[in-house]
Structure 1
Amino acid sequence: MSKAEAILTAAQMRAAEQAVFATGVPEYELMERAGAAAAEIVWRAGGKRDLLVLCGPGNNGGDGFVIARLLRARGVPVRVAALGESLTPSSLKARACWAGPVEDIFSAAPATQIVDALFGTGLSRGLDPVLADRLCALTASAGFSYAVDLPSGVDTDSGALLSAVPAFGICVALGAFKSAHLLQPSANCWQRLICADIGIDVSAATVHRLSPPPMFPPKPLDHKYSRGLVAVVGGEMAGAGQLASHAAAHSGAGMVRHIARDLVGGGPDAIITQKADGAGDVGRLLNDARFKAVLVGPGLGLDQDATARLEAAMVSGHPLVLDADALTLLAGKGVDAIPAGAILTPHEGEFVRLFGDLPGSKIDRALEAARRADAILIYKGSDSVIAAPDGRAMIASGSSAWLSTAGTGDVLAGLVAGRLAVTGDRYRAACEALWLHGEAARRAGAAFVADDLLVELPAAIASRL
């Protein structure tokens, strides 16, 4: 898997900074690094356009004073507006190094460019409404806007908006991404996200941003079974199972069998459709050691027959991917009924039915659910989180809003089963499938239907070979 980008909580970021200071690097040196990195980004984006830097009382405001000083030295017409006095030793030093005047934020005139350096990581409460309105007005009047580390008013760990937050052109993450950079609704508060390296060691991070994974073609001696045999156990809605089967067939797996309650036409002839009249037939058809992954859930139904089919799959001994109706059926039985080692793909409603209203951020909830179920979770949404019982997690951001259409979840489930059959690695399979799903959507463009994703999958896979 390719090198991913670390995501830290506010507490982890503070600990990482303290580790830097413990090596003898002064706190103010780190502020200079942060300010210089952000100033470079502003310079490249906005050049010598007039700039207003809004500085808060803490170290985020200190970063702002460094930005202002460095850009003025490059000939940028810079003004600074502050929210009262600086209150930390480093921010006081940065302010003292700024040779220009400091305006009051409530009376400062707008500018073509604006930098929000009021409050960054660690904010625990929203801005005063008058200040929030002022920030929104000044940002709206600027043609170029930048948030330093995080927009003021964003909760670092949950991504919640603690007060009104304007839309920025660029958000500059300092040192590492924070949870709020990838989680909704905060991830929708800027057009572009850039992480600036300031010398923070993030090698111990267990949560990362999902990045394009390397993939590999079949080996010369591979055949359909060595490449991975997938079973999709269908039920009441044959079309959903068929869609998932098609996705698995386009995932790189060697062979797909659709064990269906009702036979349907259409689709690739390479998919073997086998009619199963009941749970006994399902169990008999799954009695094949060559299966590398079994998917249950898309179109399964919620009646007694569906329950029996699910149970037949769960006792088959094959690696499981559980989606849609399978998750709803399991929710009525409790977490202990979830087979250990499965891959679960719940959306928000299914997650709550399975695990209840867990506390914390979406990342926290996903990790706790994965631990309780001893399963890999793909907690779906516009900020999908993949979580493992051992504490690893990946966040996928920026997915196409056009994915909010019927059947795309069936495609994802089929991809997960296919990649599990290919790789044999549950976490890797979840990451690869989620990335391929998003990339296929990107290639499909606008107003697609779920079937259109299937057409884009071969090119998406080829792009990573």
Structure 2
Amino acid sequence: MPASRQILTVVQMRAAEQALIDAGTSVDALMQVAGRGAAEWVWRLAGRRPVTVLCGPGNNGGDGYVIAETIRERGGEVAVIAAAPPATDAARNAAALYGGTVLDADAEASGDLLVDCLYGSGLTRPLSAADFGRLSRLAAAHPHRIAIDVPSGVQSDSGMMLNPGLPDYDLTVALGAWKFAHFLMPASAAMGALRLVPIGVAPVAGTAQVIDRPRVAAPAADSHKYRRGLLAVVGGAMPGAAILAATAAQGGGAGYVKLFASSKRNVPADLVVDGGPVAEVLSDDRNGAVLIGPGLGRDGEARERLAVALADPVPLLVDADALVLLSPRLMAGRSAPTVATPHEGELVALERAFDCDGGGSRPDRAAALARASGMVIVAKGSDTVIAAPDRRLACAPRASSWLSTAGTGDVLAGAIASRLATGVEPFAAACEGVWLHGEAARRCPPGFTAGALAGRVAEALAACL
């Protein structure tokens, strides 16, 4: 995995920086690389408009002094407010190299852009009343705001806001590596655009990753529909949801999508419907994957269909109603890969079913459930996390908030299941489907419906070729 895609905890980041220092790089040199890299983004946003840099006592404050000096060298108008004197050697050295104005902690300042270098990713306690008031006052006095590494008052590993009412930002510049807070709610909603400044951190084994645009090859010249992958979609009491999932799957790369349903009503002409017994549909040895859950219902017939689907020795995606019905007993004896796509309520239900305590951050919860259940878990929502039983972990970039409408989860299920049917291994298929879902949303106009979203999955796939 490229270093630019890894997500590091605070402990991992400190170890990665120490590895650079042990290899001969000084803390001061790392601070210069990080600060000058961040200054590039500050300069782009501010130009020659006045910049205020709020510096704390630690190395994040030291980065702020480097940023301010870089802006000053370029002829920009910049002032530093020192919330406290520098308390580390590197921060003191950076402050000594800054040749511009340093204002007292409670100085009033206004300008076009505030750069928040008060505290960095190591913060574990709420801001003091004085620091919170200072940050809030300066944020209100500047129409544009940039956070360096993570916004002050945010817990890096969990995305928690340690103080209520923290300001929001136009841009957050991560230093060295991504942190979990960049992708987890509620913090990520306040960060604006995200940019990464590399400082030479090497890839770290076993880290989480950011989901990136997948690389998808066009079908081989001699491909046919079965070779590209047959996906069986098991419908149920509410056929519309299964139709949405199947429509999305058609655009996700599978060569053949077959819907098991009792009626062809409202089904697109190019979607094959099989009304036979579900056991016969799922006994087709040409199936590349099975999708069950959207519109399934929760009655006895739904339970029977789920049991039959779990018995099929091909990759299976379990969504919606099927997640509520799922249990360790039903999973017993299943050896083929399974992907589950729960929203928060379904995630809680699965945690109870598989005896997980539900504690910790969202990545912690998804990882614990993946290990307990043996499934790849796609904990979907405004901050989607994917966890595999083998401890692989991924976070999705923030997607369009217009996805918060009925049916978009069915579209996600179809996109992931389609990638499964093409033969992509389950964790990668989940990552690819999540990316396609987000990209399809980006290509839709505001106020889109789930049907419109499903129709854009093929466009998202084309962007990966």
Tell me, yes or no, if the aligned pair for 1:405 and 1:450 is still in contact at 8 Å. Answer: yes
Write the letter of the residue equivalent to 2:226.
Y
1:213-265 deviations in Å (ceiling 9; x for gaps): 111211111111111111111111122122222222222211122112x3132
Tell me, yes or no, if the aligned pair for 2:78 and 2:101 is still in contact at 8 Å. Answer: no
| Residues 339 and 329 (structure 1), Cα distance of their counterparts in 2 relative to 1, 3 Å cut | farther
* 1:401, distance to aligned residue in structure 2 (A): 1.2
1:173 aligns to what? 174
1:45 aligns to what? 45
1:90-109 deviations in Å (ceiling 9; x for gaps): 11222222344532222232
- What pairs up with 1:52-451 in 2 under 5 angstroms? 52-163=52-163, 164-204=165-205, 206-260=207-261, 262-276=262-276, 281-331=277-327, 341-356=337-352, 357-451=357-451
Q: The residue matched to 2:170 in structure 1 has which SS?
A: strand
Tell me, yes or no, if the aligned pair for 1:86 and 1:95 is still in contact at 8 Å. Answer: yes
* 1:360, distance to aligned residue in structure 2 (A): 2.1
CA distance in 1, matches of 2:161, 2:387: 24
Tell me, yes or no, if the aligned pair for 2:3 and 2:201 is still in contact at 8 Å. Answer: no
Q: The residue matched to 1:219 in structure 2 has which SS?
A: coil
CA distance in 2, matches of 1:209, 1:9: 13
Write the letter of the residue equivalent to 2:245.
A
Gap regions ≥5 residues in structure 1:
none
1:136-159 deviations in Å (ceiling 9; x for gaps): 221122133211111100000011
CA distance in 1, matches of 2:146, 2:448: 33
CA distance in 1, matches of 2:4, 2:434: 14
CA distance in 1, matches of 2:338, 2:424: 12
TM-score where L is the length of structure 2: 0.94
CA distance in 2, matches of 1:439, 1:101: 45
Deviates more, 1:203-212 or 1:114-123: 203-212
Write the letter of the residue equivalent to 1:209.
V
Tell me, yes or no, if the aligned pair for 2:53 and 2:79 is still in contact at 8 Å. Answer: yes
Tell me, yes or no, if the aligned pair for 2:314 and 2:336 is still in contact at 8 Å. Answer: no
Tell me, yes or no, if the aligned pair for 2:247 and 2:455 is still in contact at 8 Å. Answer: no
Tell me, yes or no, if the aligned pair for 1:382 and 1:397 is still in contact at 8 Å. Answer: no
| Residues 205 and 62 (structure 1), Cα distance of their counterparts in 2 relative to 1, 3 Å cut | farther
Deviates more, 1:127-136 or 1:305-314: 127-136
Tell me, yes or no, if the aligned pair for 1:335 and 1:354 is still in contact at 8 Å. Answer: no
TM-score where L is the length of structure 1: 0.94
Write the letter of the residue equivalent to 1:242.
I
Write the letter of the residue equivalent to 2:223.
D
CA distance in 2, matches of 1:205, 1:51: 39
CA distance in 1, matches of 2:330, 2:10: 33
* 1:9, distance to aligned residue in structure 2 (A): 0.8
CA distance in 2, matches of 1:135, 1:401: 27
* 1:203, distance to aligned residue in structure 2 (A): 4.6
1:34-81 deviations in Å (ceiling 9; x for gaps): 111112221222122222211111111111112222222222222211
Tell me how many residue pairs correspond in the alignment: 460
The two structures, once aligned, show a CA RMSD in angstroms of 2.0
CA distance in 2, matches of 1:112, 1:372: 51
Tell me, yes or no, if the aligned pair for 1:53 and 1:64 is still in contact at 8 Å. Answer: yes
Tell me, yes or no, if the aligned pair for 1:2 and 1:214 is still in contact at 8 Å. Answer: no
CA distance in 2, matches of 1:239, 1:177: 39
Deviates more, 1:374-383 or 1:338-347: 338-347
Deviates more, 1:140-149 or 1:24-33: 140-149
